[in-house]
Structure 1
Amino acid sequence: MAAVRRGQRQGEPGTLSREQELELIDALRGVHPDAFGLDEELWTRQSLHALIQQQFGLSLDLGIVGAYLRAWGLGPREPRERACGLCVGAVERWVRSEYPAITRAAQEHLAEVYWIGRIRLRGTMPAADVISAISARGRVRFMITTPSVDPRLPRDFVLRLSGAEQRTVHLIVDGSWARNEWPRRLPRRIVPHPLPSCGRALAP
């Protein structure tokens, strides 16, 4: 789970120890940056960097912070990587036939397109899920939850993607959640789109 540069070991200067990484994950569970006085709606590489400095007194290189995010499963993923093995073909057809219209609509409304999914972190106790929104431009925004608390797609997470400016966002939601686990009665500025899914949960 830990992420360090070649030639470095976990716990050496410029990295977190395993204990610190697990402590950081616990600190993130169910809370957003504003709970720590940070000016971000959701967690990003920059706000995580600030929290590490606040919690541990460490000013890590931003590249190292980004490596932790990738180790947590928050790197860019191709659409086919968001599908179970039975749905890869349907997802590829959807990208060809439906996705272009979504991007055109987003451009017309000066909106952002986010791909939303969920990854199970390994090696944590209790279990932890990372819910991420990755923009078409590669910007990562995320939160960490304890899956046993509420398996649904958090409404607060979705609303915060729109920001204080209440900008329009298009959300492509993968098969991590069934449709009945999506938030209901969302504002019109938030436009969700289901990625084709047979309803099977994604592998952790």
Structure 2
Amino acid sequence: MRDRFPDQLDLSGPLWSRQTVATLVERLFDIPLSPAAAGRYLRAWGVTTREPVDRACPLCAESVVRWQVETYPTISRTAQKQRAEIYWAGKSRLHGTTPATEVISAVSTRGWIRFMVTTDPGLPRDFLSRLRPPTGRPAHVVVDASWSYREWPRRAPEGVTLHALPCCERGR
């Protein structure tokens, strides 16, 4: 799965999900696995979702709470007008892997979890472009403090708007 997308392995979906992991396990090992069971394995491996405050450093938690009250409603209203998806993106390190492997994940406000496994420490542009729904609607992505601004793509993919959570390390 590292540095690969499901469609490169003839699986459905632009990014990894519990369902595509379950399908891959069944295909490779002939072991039926439900998406819920795949989710339990993913959590055990460190592929989990976190709340916005949990994504912030302790010094920034108050700023994140204030951002959720003051800024997020505007993002949400704009997304509703555009019929866009909203995702919360972050990354975590997969333990026990060589070379160092990152799991970049995005959770939609509808509860959809999409992720990729990569050795690239930056915020990959192709990951962001694959967050857009197949309908072509726009996506708003709230990016946590996992990346500094210089690790963001120079330009967001068409139809993707990036929003930064406050972070003292990023200067906001």
1:112-156 CA-to-partner distances (Å, cap 9, x unmatched) read 10000000111222221100001112110000012xxx3210111
Q: Could you tell me which of 34, 37, 54 is aligned with 2:7?
A: 34
1:156-179 CA-to-partner distances (Å, cap 9, x unmatched) read 100111144332000000011111
d(CA) in 2 for partners of 1:169, 1:61: 28
TM-score normalised to the size of structure 2? 0.93
Verify the 8 A CA contact 1:152 1:182 in the aligned structure 2. Answer: yes
Q: Could you tell me which of 48, 52, 63 is aligned with 1:90?
A: 63
| 1:186 shift after superposition | 2.4
| 1:73 shift after superposition | 3.4
TM-score normalised to the size of structure 1? 0.79
SS, match of residue 162 in structure 1: coil
RMSD: 1.5
Deviates further, 132-141 or 158-167: 158-167
| 1:31 shift after superposition | 0.2
Equivalent position amino acid for 1:176 in 2: S
Q: Could you tell me which of 161, 181, 184 is aligned with 2:154?
A: 184
Verify the 8 A CA contact 1:74 1:140 in the aligned structure 2. Answer: no
Structure 2 stretches lacking a partner, 5+ long: none
Q: Is structure 2 residue 134 aligned with structure 1 residue 168?
A: no
Counterparts of 1:1-204 in structure 2 under 5 Å?
A: 28-146=1-119, 150-199=120-169
| 1:198 shift after superposition | 1.6
SS, match of residue 129 in structure 1: strand
Query: Aligned pair in 2 of structure 1 residues 32, 187: CA closer, same or farther (>3 Å)?
Result: closer
Equivalent position amino acid for 1:59 in 2: P
SS, match of residue 131 in structure 2: helix
| 1:85 shift after superposition | 1.4
Equivalent position amino acid for 1:76 in 2: T
d(CA) in 2 for partners of 1:74, 1:110: 28
d(CA) in 2 for partners of 1:187, 1:126: 28
What is the aligned length?
Answer: 170
Verify the 8 A CA contact 2:128 2:157 in the aligned structure 1. Answer: no
Equivalent position amino acid for 1:144 in 2: V
SS, match of residue 107 in structure 2: strand
Which has the greater radius of gyration? 1
d(CA) in 2 for partners of 1:29, 1:62: 20
Counterpart position of 1:11: none
Structure 1 stretches lacking a partner, 5+ long: 1-27
